[in-house]
Amino acid sequence: MGLPADEWKSYLLQKWASLPKSIQLTISTAETLSDIFLHSSSLLQPEDELFLKRLSKGYLVGKDSDAPLFYREQGNKKFQEKDYTGAAVLYSKGVSHSRPNTEDMSLCYANRSAALFHLGQYETCIKDISRAQTHGYPERLQPKIMLRRAECLVALGRLQEASQTVGDLERNFTATPTLADVPLQTLQRNLHHLKMKVQEKENPTETFPATLAKTLEDVALRGENERLSNASSSVGLCIDPLKGRYLVATKDILPGELLVKEDAFVSVLNPGELPPPHHGLDSQWDTRVTNGDLYCHRCLKHTLATVPCDGCSYAKYCSQECLQQAWELYHRTECPLGGLLLTLGVFCHIALRLTLVVGVEDVRKIMKKLCVKISNKDICLPESDNQVKTLNYGRGESEKNGNMVETPIPGCDANGKYDSNYDAVFNLLPHTENHSPEHKFLCALCVSVLCRQLEAAGLQAIPRVNSSQLTAAVTPESCPDVTIWGVAMLRHMLQLQCNAQAITTVQHTGSKGSIVTDSRQVRLATGIFPVISLLNHSCSPNTSVSFISTVATIRASQRIGKGQEILHCYGPHKSRMGVAERQQKLRSQYFFDCTCPACQTEAHRMASGPRWKAFCCNSCRAPMQGDGVLRCGNRSCAESVVSRDHLVSRLQNLQQQVGVAQKLLRDGELERAVQLLSGCQRDAESFLWAEHAMVGEIADGLARACAALGDWQKSATHLQKSLRVVEVRHGPSSVEMGHELFKLAQIFFNGFAVPEALSAIQKAEEVLSLHCGPWDDEIQELQKMKSCLLDLPPTLVRSSV
């Protein structure tokens, strides 16, 4: 995910393989990051940069003057199909390719405002109308968007402004006959009726920044931690010679308690897994929807009304404020490097952004502070934490001349406080000694290319320096900044393999005709969080992480006793993969062998593996056991042996059929989907354990299909079967269980089974509250459903769907 594009990665690995053994040995045995960087960068040749330049050009990140018309026409087709969300995204792509103060930009903004109006996003629609006017919307078309603005104001209850807009329309109507009489009269009539019902005052919907600020204030930590920023007073920082720094509970912690609330020091939006646009597309302009089209590239707010960078078509923001802040912090340097950064990968991009946000002067200071020696461009960076013999909160102790003395924990200041700052980021371990020589070579050359690009630009765009210095170009001839910058970026790139945090979001989907939603967790961005990076891994953690914009929140998912370690999952969770696969992934990416209780317990389990992956006997339904050849676990059963490969092949065929059924479900072919899923269910019951993950997936699909058909009773029956599988696999208090209970509440609610719905709502709220705050979409929807049901007259309340 974070590494370079496959073509560039393969090219560099081939280059490494072709190097003389003596050069490979020099890089492999280099003791410092500066040696690795300088030796590797000296091998970068012009032909390497030309190859990379050709790859980078495949990403269309510049502005194309012909693209706005294309996207506007494609958006119009979606609009006519009443796919207003799809239309808005395509109009946004047109906006991104438009130059400021042009008719192209104004028309794309105006068309997008129409799509937003039909989606009920009236505040955002008004903003787009203002943007269209700012960028030169044609005078002949002004009455059309003024009328739309008035309709938005009426819908928002802002009647005084609506009246003023209608008055302006009436005064200009004679001079602008393009506005028809009927729409104007209709608007005036609607306005008159609303005036009778609504007090004449403004009541605008809160914009995102205000709403977010209020939300973040509501997510409060329990007490101020004087030793550890962004953590509650229930959390303490310790250090150990074997496992390094880690967090513990300083008091008993209850499930759901908020332990850490930390904003990403730096984050970069993940572009997604899509190939560059030049690979096999019918058009040179890409109509696919990616994260970059739906989320602000700075604050990660979801939006259909992005504001583009004036210099490129890739960077998009939720507001002019976010655009300006991003420009001042880092984007003025990144803007001309868009295609290059997409080719070099997210980790290289984060490494650059870290140094841009901090500034080369502060990077130099922190390197000097951490015993960095600069002599003839030789930079020696510390490779590991100070080793201490005992632990304490905020400080460690080490032995000197037979006496125990306090040793500051790496990343802490002179007072022993650990802040979420660049000092803490810099002290995250790069694990240089654990990375393979070819990986270090690859990272060093990626950073070298970036440094050469910045060097060619004279480093004029380095942010975060004094305003008096902004006009003076800083050149590599005047100071070793390029080398300092390169070594710092290489350190960060190596750090990220073990310390990068996936910033995720829950995306909700649903089949056509169904109001019961499905959800999936998707990786939205990659960030670096100095405090969260202190958490050690467990395959069965006692915490859960969720995100509000770029802010991560860590909550206790179970009771944590005083003195117990607070643990986080790095990805390989016991509910998602077996112990062998988890161990392999943790060893290859994080360089350690996991000895958590889940791994130790699972290693002694029965040969059939976890229940959610188990096959069962066709005769007696007992689990099958063995490796290559499986036998029934019930000794009294006469069932003959069966090949594991045969059952795996059956499972693969079943998965293909379920995939076809799910596509039918998405396309609204509900009866065919139910028929196919019912057949899959019968087949699954003949060879899969009752709690196999595929059994739950089929039941979930049947539940959604029946809900879309309005058969709420069958839907609830199927979903309850899926719930049992989810509980076995993920646990009764898991976030996955919360999502399934949310769907069950929706089914009971829509089936008007009030007691069952209220019970499911309560259970779903209890589980989701362990993982998310009150701002969570599902929790808010549950509260709305509960309020609606409690307001019903007693005579309407009934049980059972």
Coil, strand or helix: which one is 81? coil
For the chain, give the percent of residues with pLDDT over 90. 52
Average pLDDT over residues 598-606: 70
Query: 376 or 796: whose pLDDT is higher?
Result: 796
Query: 417 or 188: whose pLDDT is higher?
Result: 417
Give pLDDT, residue 40: 94
Name the band, by pLDDT with cuts 50, 70 and 90, for residue 85. very high
Q: 155-169, 383-397, 722-736: which has the minimum mean pLDDT?
A: 383-397
Buried b (16+ CB within 10 A) or exposed e, 431-445: bbeebebbbbbbbbb
467-494: per-residue pLDDT in tens? 333 333 333 333 356 788 899 999 999 9
Query: What pairs with residue 308 in β-bridges?
Result: 316
Average pLDDT over residues 742-755: 90
Instruction: Pull the structure tokens for residue 245.
Output: 């720094």
152-196: per-residue pLDDT in tens? 998 898 888 888 887 887 777 655 555 544 455 554 554 455 344
Average pLDDT over residues 283-312: 90
Q: How far apart are CA 395 and CA 409, in angstroms?
A: 5
Which residue shows structure tokens 């003389």? 20
Q: What is the pTM of this model?
A: 0.84
Give pLDDT, residue 435: 95
Mean pLDDT of the chain: 82
Give pLDDT, residue 183: 54
Phi, psi of 295 (to 5 degrees): -130, 145
Q: Strands 244-249 and 235-240, how do they pair?
A: antiparallel
Residue ranges and CATH numbers for the domains of the chain are 66-202 (1.25.40.10), 654-791 (1.25.40.10)
Query: 306 or 620: whose pLDDT is higher?
Result: 306
Give pLDDT, residue 460: 45
- Residue 261 parent element (H or E): strand 258-263
Average pLDDT over residues 416-432: 92
Count Cβ atoms below 10 Å from residue 636 Cβ, excluding itself.
7
Q: How far apart are CA 350 and CA 117, in angstroms?
A: 37
DSSP for 397-437, written as a single string: EEEETTEEEEEEPTTB-TTS-B-SSHHHHHTS---TTTS-H
Q: How far apart are CA 715 and CA 184, in angstroms?
A: 47
CA–CA distance from 713 to each of 646, 747, 794 (Å)? 36, 8, 22
634-662: per-residue pLDDT in tens? 878 876 788 888 999 999 999 999 999 99
467: amino acid identity, one letter: S
| Helix, strand, coil distribution of the chain in percent, nearest 5 | 50, 15, 35
Are 730 and 705 a contacting pair, CB within 8 Å? no
193-241: per-residue pLDDT in tens? 534 433 343 444 433 444 444 444 455 777 788 899 999 999 999 998 8
Instruction: Pull the structure tokens for residue 524.
Output: 């939205």
Buried b (16+ CB within 10 A) or exposed e, 559-580: ebeeeeebbbbbebbbbbbebe
